[in-house]
């Protein structure tokens, strides 16, 4: 069982056999499960990719504002979603 706090700290991938991968270690495994992601999973073996992942993860809420447009005046929170 993965705690709520651990999930809020970093992405968690739990495989059917019970293996848990956390954060930048989970992402290559997720990519391998997608149609074309397996062609890019090797990128996570390059030096420095864990630093890039952590930078993006640490700023994910701020970055989501650039990627997802919401109506003017809408408020969003992790617990309640967007209103």
Q: What is d(CA 52, CA 24) in angstroms, rounded to the nearest whole number? A: 9
Rounded Cα gap, residues 80 and 45, in angstroms = 37
10 φ, ψ to 5°?
-160, 160
Task: For 1-83, list the strands marked E by DSSP.
Answer: 12-14, 20-22, 76-77, 81-82
pTM value is 0.56
Per run of 10 residues, the mean pLDDT along the chain (length 83 residues) is 81 88 84 83 81 79 66 62 56
- What's the confidence (pLDDT) of residue 66? 66
The H helix count followed by the E strand count for the chain is 4, 4
Q: What pLDDT does 46 receive? A: 84
């Amino acid at each position: 069982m993965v705690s709520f706090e651990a999930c809020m700290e970093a992405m968690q991938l739990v495989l059917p056999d019970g293996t848990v991968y956390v954060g930048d270690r989970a992402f290559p495994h997720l990519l391998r499960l997608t149609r074309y992601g397996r062609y890019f999973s090797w990128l996570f073996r390059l030096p420095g990719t864990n630093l890039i992942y952590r930078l993006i993860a640490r700023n994910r809420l701020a970055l989501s504002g650039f990627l997802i447009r919401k109506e003017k005046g809408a408020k969003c929170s992790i617990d309640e979603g967007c209103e």
